[in-house]
Amino acid sequence: DTGVSQNPRHKITKRGQNVTFRCDPISEHNRLYWYRQTLGQGPEFLTYFQNEAQLEKSRLLSDRFSAERPKGSFSTLEIQRTEQGDSAMYLCASSPWGGFGHEKLFFGSGTQLSVL
Amino acid sequence: AQKITQTQPGMFVQEKEAVTLDCTYDTSDPSYGLFWYKQPSSGEMIFLIYQGSYDQQNATEGRYSLNFQKARKSANLVISASQLGDSAMYFCAMREGLTQGGSEKLVFGKGTKLTVNP
């Protein structure tokens, strides 16, 4: 399977715990994005990488959130001291970059986080 | 103000009929792109169609077409010959600043849930 892979698919945690999600993009894609989707809403942009460089972060990404993409391959999103408001679907996407702005994003199936 | 507005929370259509899903957008940027994505119950967002602000013709991709009315700032998705597998959430999204190195983020609407009835 050459699509975007996210692990785990589901994560249940207690408030205050730290969680980490992993995303493996399509191998030839140099851009990787993280979005968050809450129930009844469209996805909201969190951050994106070009290769290993994190080029843009949303104000939604508080200091409890950190994302990395070492060596420009897979990426991890960590949430420290989780809160109930962090419960959401976390979506990862990747794309090639041709410099035109119309490159489509390829999404993974997401990680559903539930904070109890 | 919301950048992307999808006013139809839910739509129903009979199999084999056409359906239009509405999307209006708000931007002062002359260079932008509009996207439609489908999200089935499995959760994965699937790209359907793209329209650039400078494109002269409406985009088409198989059974999908985009009714782009720039002056009205609308970008409605038309699905022809609906199939049962088209039942899903549909999201309209916009990327601004395409020619000025603007933000890479896609801004999504709240979506429309389409149900195709046999």
DSSP one-letter string for chain A: --S-EEE-SEEEE-TT--EEEEEE--TT--EEEEEEE-TTS--EEEEEEETTEEEEE-TTS-TTEEEE-GGGS-EEEEESS--GGG-EEEEEEEE---SSS-PPPEE---EEEEE-
A1 pLDDT more than 60:
no
Does the structure show a pLDDT above 70 at B69?
Answer: yes
| Structural contact between residues A96 and A106, judged by C-beta atoms closer than 8 angstroms | no
Task: Name the residue facing A56 among B50, B103, B111 (closest C-beta).
Answer: B103
DSSP-derived 3-state class of residue B27 = coil
Find the residue in B nearest to A58 (Cα): B105
Q: pLDDT tens, B73-118?
A: 999 999 999 999 999 999 999 998 776 666 778 999 999 999 999 9
Measured between CA atoms, the residue of chain B closest to residue A105 is: B47
List of chain A residues whose C-beta atoms are within 8 Å of the C-beta of residue B104: 31, 33, 48, 55-56
Q: Does position A99 have pLDDT exceeding 70, yes or no?
A: no
What is chain B's Cα-based Rg?
14
Averaged over B26-48, what is the pLDDT? 93
Cβ neighbours of B45 in A, within 8 Å: 43, 91, 93, 105, 107
